[in-house]
Structure 1
Amino acid sequence: MASNTQISYHVRSNSFPSRPHPITSEVDQHLSRLRSSQATTISSSSSICHDINGLQDLHGCVDKFLQLPLVQQALGQEQQKKWVDELLNGSLRILDISSIAKDALLQTKECVQGLSSVLRRRRGDEISSEVKKYLTSRKTVKKTIKKALKGMANKCSKTNEEDETITMLKDVEAATSTVFESLLSLISRPKASSKSGWSLVSKLIHSKGIACEEEESDMNEFVKVDTALSTLASKSDNIICVQNQLKELESNIQDLEEGIECLSRHLIKSRVSLLNILNN
């Protein structure tokens, strides 16, 4: 899983006592699990849903962490406020990226639903028009995401301050950015296997339904649909195959949307906590 964000898990500080609060250990554990998942798993809708669920658990701990009086006292110190301000800027960037991801998924889902409806009616002219609409929408989504990904590069700032509180929260920010980067990459520019995607199209056109099950394991749901629609034939078995792919894609988009919505609530809650600390 490619990423422009480097995550540091080494923390040191004298902001905390020699025995950190148990929530600190929980945050570290969630960060380690995310790092392990990202290092060993190939990007797919299911793997990113898993990582988003991991982020929900992570930010749930961060919510509790920011409510600790000791943490609020440490972050409320005058010399720390510049770093709190940076954390707030980082949280705003992540919320913006979350919004872009939600919009991209919603736009894709709406096109999927429109195309599925037309395919059920089996009207040739409508199918052609709806396919063009879908592919045009995908181009727009990819363009928006490409710009967002470019803006994400190297956005997680570093600090030379040896403060455990700030360093850990920076690690959380970086881990969150990495998952969103992977999600946006999945939506916008999925990579097929070394075998040509057009081989799949050929199978879709010339073979029976079993073609849908062959050589697709290396493709995620977005590229399967993009590739199949590029040269959709009017044969009934091809339409059934594409309908199944659209159904799978819509289901996966729904899972991603629900995960991001829940995560966004955690992100907003943490941002409010940081604002309260900064303003006290």
Structure 2
Amino acid sequence: MAQKNTTQISEFLLHGFSSQPEVQRVLFLLFLSIYLLSLFGNMTIILLIRCDMQLRQTPMYFFLSCLAVADMGFATTIIPKTLRNVLSHKKTITYSGCLTQIFFYIYFGNVESYMLSSMAFDRYVAICHPMYYSSLMSHKRCLHMATMSWTIPTIHSLLYTILMARLEFCNPGEIHHFICDINPVLEVTCSDTRVINLIVMTEGLVDILGPFVLIIISYAFIFYSIMKIPSAIGKRKAFSTCGSHISVVVLFYGGISWVYFKPHAKNPGLQDTVATVMYTMVIPMLNPFIYTLRNSEMKAALRRVMRQHFH
């Protein structure tokens, strides 16, 4: 058995993409384009909601602006470091940088999950209890829901970051992934991981599945209410108010399911790398375009804002 050096290491080596120069250049341009589109799309969503009075006063779009902030944070946590490493001969991340990435990776991912849950509850109230919508989704309640969505993930992320910081790592610290995620980092530790694995399988599972279960329950009531609408036009209108959100939920939790809920391999393969790219980079880029292209209110607001500023 190889001797394990548990001296505190200063950096990790990241493996995840091809080392061929031609492939690296293509990946750099691809990831840079994704990042710029993500920033542009989500910033457009935020400014559009901020500039349009009708959207700004609607709870759904208040949560959407929070989701856009989380998407930008999520992409910024992952892509800039990935861009640097794609073109670097030695693909490394410092020990402190790895812990920082773990914290914000978990944090923004959880914020997005809680925001999607809040948006599902908003749709539930709007469709199932329209007469009480104004009182149930008051500005004060929306602020409370948003505050919880930003606060609870802080505790969750801090817990895992502290636990990871207490571990000792073997030299060389080669992580078979392009980011610092919990499972790949745990593969290079020389410490006992039973406690953190137990927390991942209990608290972590509840934290991921909790918001998703709330979304499923909300849409179960929503679909039941929609099916009771007598007219086909009324049903289509009700479904259209949920279409964009459902698309985002499917993409987001589909990525999570592939990355975290399939049997865990010691060295992630190409499919795992592609799934992580989709989950951490592509989805934050697609979300604003889904809401803009599939949502008639967003398109109408965009036209109003453009008329105000360019005519």
- What TM-score do the two structures reach when normalised by structure 2? 0.33
- Higher relative CO (Cα under 8 Å, sequence separation at least 6) belongs to 1
- What TM-score do the two structures reach when normalised by structure 1? 0.36
